[in-house]
Chain A
Amino acid sequence: MAEENILLQMKHIHKKFPGVYALKDVNFELKAGEVHALLGENGAGKSTLIKCLAGIYIPEEGEVIVKGKSHIMKSVADSQAHGISVIHQELCLVPYLSIAENMFLGRERNVAGVIKRGEENEAAKKMLKRLGLEFDPNTLIKDLSIAQQQMVEIAKALSVDADILVMDEPTASLTDKETEVLFETMRQLKAEGIGIIYISHRMSELFAITDRVTIMRDGQYVGTVNTRETTNDQLIAMMVGRELTQLYFKDEVQPGKVVVEVKDLVSPPFVNGVSFAVREGEIVGMSGLVGAGRSETSHCIFGIDPNYTGQILIDGKPVHIRSVRQAMQNGIALVPENRKEEGLVLINSVGYNLTLTVLHEIYKGRPLGNTSKEEDLIQRYINELAIKTPSASQLAENLSGGNQQKIVIAKWLATKPKLLILDEPTRGVDVGARAEIYGFMNELAKQGVAILMISSDLPEVINMSDRVLVMHEGRVTANLGKNELSQETIMRYATGTGGNLNVA
């Protein structure tokens, strides 16, 4: 009886890339009406397994059985024809096409090749509504925020009449509210007998929505457990292959002198009068809702947005920062929010990316560059941050998300900054790598680096910060000390319902 419920079986799947054995004998099974999580550290092979199902990669060995029929997907269209719909980890939307056009891309409603635009718009609108979105389906994707794009991506996948739905980290850029809407929709789909494969690094989500969890490690199948019969610690232990005793590392550091002070910073429309200071050895969290102006504030300090008014003092001296170059000369570094677009040259090698910020040192007095110095530097950072890559010449785009993030952090550490701004440093990063990133932050603070950490992850903000600035509509609404920190307090000031507190 149970056998009939099985929608999908993947057996003994093998997939190799040059230098990387991404999948070694992986097994997976999906039943109708279940949400089955794939769990594993960055680079464990989750996305690769999904791509083998989506017809993007063809496994070298193994068997895929869809609804009782053995069939290896040859192409995306082939996979879609078998009732498989995938939300990929990287956003896959065309920026200059509209929401509706993106939703129906590849399966346009048409008569003899001529598109029935009205019908598509109508259907798109209905789908968006189901997710509680009130967008005009004619809106261009490029005019949406990342979170909104993610919701469109979800709507797109749902609009396919699929019975196997795959979601590869759909919630990485979503707020709790949007995540809840998504879960509600997933529950409905479950009830309709659709099988969902769900990937997320947020453990709490797994317990909220999944029925079973399959754990992968280093491209290998570790095991499958029923969510109800397992614990957080057990999952983590299976995932990292050891007990992870502590996620957050934060030592007391006696803060030194003020490194950067910002006074009445204004850059409309997102920054409307921001004042704060960060001192040596201090980790200052910056919390707030999407659109509160946190990233925009950091862009002013880092010279990306030079058209601000107000004052920035570095080591007590007023400086108007007009360019990134100038910000770097003043000892500021920014690990941006979106590593793929702002952080990395994806089509270049790991090594190339690591030294991009310090080329002036490598080429100082040497027109052809100091290759041995460059290689030393690259090797040092690969070792220090434990970047998992077959070699320094591997392309950045072939690395997993967590390892890409480590490269971005490393390339800014190489500039030996006085102030390190981290914008969402652990988005889409697995627990193991997160613990490592928190470890570096702690180390840096102990060495006297001032750290400003913008983050929407409240536990992270609360556990890692000495002090938290909360922003709302372009202003700092609270400056909370370590003993005042709680999720409720932060949310109150973030939504603007708490008034102002301790604001300079």
Chain B
Amino acid sequence: MSLDEAPKAQNGFVRYFKENMGTLIGLFAMCLILSFTTNGVFYSQRNLVNVLRQVSSNACLAFGMTFAIITGGIDLSVGSILALSGTLSAGFIANNNMPVAQAVILAIVIGTALGLFNGVVIAKTTIPPFIVTLAMMQIARGAAYIYSNGQPIRAMFPDYQIIGTGYLGPIPYPVIYMTVFLIICVILLSKTRFGRHVYAVGGNDKAATFSGVNVARTKTLVYTMSGFLAAFTGVVLCARMASGQPTAGQSFEMDAIAATVLGGTSMSGGVGKIGSTMIGVLIIGVLNNGLNLLGLNSFWQQIAKGIVILLAVYVDMLKKRRK
């Protein structure tokens, strides 16, 4: 028993490095190159904190995405839910004089409810998740535009802004949120019954059903969670900008998918880890930041991102085939 227990924690750690060797080397190499090409600017505390803050929203969305993709699905609606919840939170305060806490909670509840709706439809019908969340992507975006009349809603309220701009010591709040969600999601996926069911549903849903796993509930929970994370992130983003932006989060779902896939999560489901997704998130973040520091415009960043995704996934497949 003790033989089994003690070395396992260490094992997990070693395994993490082994499993993510490719992406970790890639990330490390990028950091190394940047330390030469940016004269150390990259390594300044300010810049590093900046990178973490920049990746925090993608990270939160990617965590939810990882769950969805492991179940064999996908959630395309996260960018739009993010925009809707962000806009609503600003609007509730600016237009309805709602107290900040109430506005924020209500906005998040609405976003989460849309995720729940996704989940229920996916679990109870045979409509593929791609279609269901594609529809929700349109609906939530449309709702955000209607609510805001297509205009940003200014929300210069210190109590509200602090959600996105505050610091704990040197660390921005969004980085704290990301860290908390990271820990929760890692535990949920790797330690709990729910996490195991997520893998089972994506790995072989028939086996899951025949083993008495409540497949419908598992799927519903996953999309609800993804909706919650998107809504939360939306509020944080809009608070930071002091404005409810109905255009926020355009194509964020794509970055979240990219990070997830970079982390080695299989699009066909059953495989994936939150910790690996986090590396994917960092790769995309460092890439964007580095190219920025090097003065390349964002169009080049997109091309670079595309190439990195292809390369990384190809290397990952080679690695798996060798085994």
B5 touches A118 (CB 8 A): yes
B210 touches A56 (CB 8 A): yes
Q: Which residue of A lies closest to B269 (CB)?
A: A96
- Whether B212 is near chain A, meaning CB under 8 Å from some CB there, is yes
Residues on B with beta carbons closer than 8 Å to the beta carbon of A86: 210
A92 touches B270 (CB 8 A): no
**If the complex has contacts A93-B204, A115-B191, are A54 and B196 also in contact, measured as CB distance less than 8 A?**
no
A94 touches B193 (CB 8 A): no
Contact of A110 among B4, B192, B204, B214 (CB under 8 A): B192
A106 touches B213 (CB 8 A): yes
- Whether B97 is near chain A, meaning CB under 8 Å from some CB there, is no
Query: Could you tell me the distance in whole angstroms from the C-beta of A108 to the nearest C-beta in chain B?
Result: 4
- Whether B319 is near chain A, meaning CB under 8 Å from some CB there, is no
- Whether B211 is near chain A, meaning CB under 8 Å from some CB there, is yes
User: 0/1 per residue, B165-199, Cβ < 8 Å to A?
Assistant: 00000000000000000000001000111101101
B192 touches A94 (CB 8 A): no
A94 touches B4 (CB 8 A): no
A122 touches B193 (CB 8 A): no
Docked complex Cα distance between A329 and B234 (Å): 59
- Whether A105 is near chain B, meaning CB under 8 Å from some CB there, is yes
User: 0/1 per residue, A88-119, Cβ < 8 Å to B?
Assistant: 10111111110001100111101001110110
Docked complex Cα distance between A284 and B124 (Å): 52
Residues on B with beta carbons closer than 8 Å to the beta carbon of A54: 210
- Whether B47 is near chain A, meaning CB under 8 Å from some CB there, is no
A94 touches B210 (CB 8 A): no
Residues on A with beta carbons closer than 8 Å to the beta carbon of B1: 118, 122
B191 touches A114 (CB 8 A): yes
Docked complex Cα distance between A96 and B209 (Å): 16
A106 touches B206 (CB 8 A): no
Contact of A96 among B208, B212, B214, B270 (CB under 8 A): B270
- Whether A77 is near chain B, meaning CB under 8 Å from some CB there, is yes
B204 touches A92 (CB 8 A): yes
Residues on B with beta carbons closer than 8 Å to the beta carbon of A76: 209-212
A-B CB pair tally, cutoff 8 Å: 82
Docked complex Cα distance between A464 and B16 (Å): 53
Residues on A with beta carbons closer than 8 Å to the beta carbon of B191: 114-115, 117
B199 touches A113 (CB 8 A): no
B270 touches A94 (CB 8 A): yes
- Whether B48 is near chain A, meaning CB under 8 Å from some CB there, is no
Q: Give A104-155 interface residues, CB cut-off 8 Å to B.
A: 105-108, 110, 113-115, 117-118, 121-122
Contact of A92 among B4, B194, B210 (CB under 8 A): B210
Docked complex Cα distance between A117 and B213 (Å): 18
- Whether B271 is near chain A, meaning CB under 8 Å from some CB there, is yes
B207 touches A56 (CB 8 A): no
Docked complex Cα distance between A335 and B243 (Å): 65
- Whether B22 is near chain A, meaning CB under 8 Å from some CB there, is no
Query: Could you tell me the distance in whole angstroms from the C-beta of B264 to the nearest C-beta in chain A?
Result: 12
B192 touches A105 (CB 8 A): no
Residues on A with beta carbons closer than 8 Å to the beta carbon of B5: 118
- Whether B103 is near chain A, meaning CB under 8 Å from some CB there, is no
Query: Could you tell me the distance in whole angstroms from the C-beta of A136 to the nearest C-beta in chain B?
Result: 10
Residues on A with beta carbons closer than 8 Å to the beta carbon of B271: 96
- Whether A80 is near chain B, meaning CB under 8 Å from some CB there, is yes
Contact of B208 among A90, A106, A108, A121 (CB under 8 A): A106
Residues on B with beta carbons closer than 8 Å to the beta carbon of A115: 191-193, 196
Docked complex Cα distance between A114 and B195 (Å): 9
A-B pairs with lowest CB-CB distance, top 6: A106-B212, A94-B203, A106-B211, A92-B207, A105-B211, A76-B212
**Known interface pairs A97-B200, A115-B193; 10 further A-B residue pairs with C-beta atoms within 8 A, sorted by A's residue number:** A76-B210, A86-B210, A95-B203, A95-B204, A96-B199, A102-B207, A105-B196, A105-B197, A105-B211, A118-B4
Chain B residues with a Cβ under 8 A of chain A:
1, 4-5, 8, 187, 191-194, 196-197, 199-200, 203-204, 206-214, 270-271
In the assembled complex, 17 residue pairs joining A and B whose CB atoms fall closer than 8 Å, in A order, are A76-B209, A77-B212, A86-B210, A92-B204, A93-B207, A94-B208, A95-B203, A97-B196, A105-B197, A105-B200, A105-B208, A107-B212, A113-B192, A114-B191, A117-B8, A118-B4, A122-B4
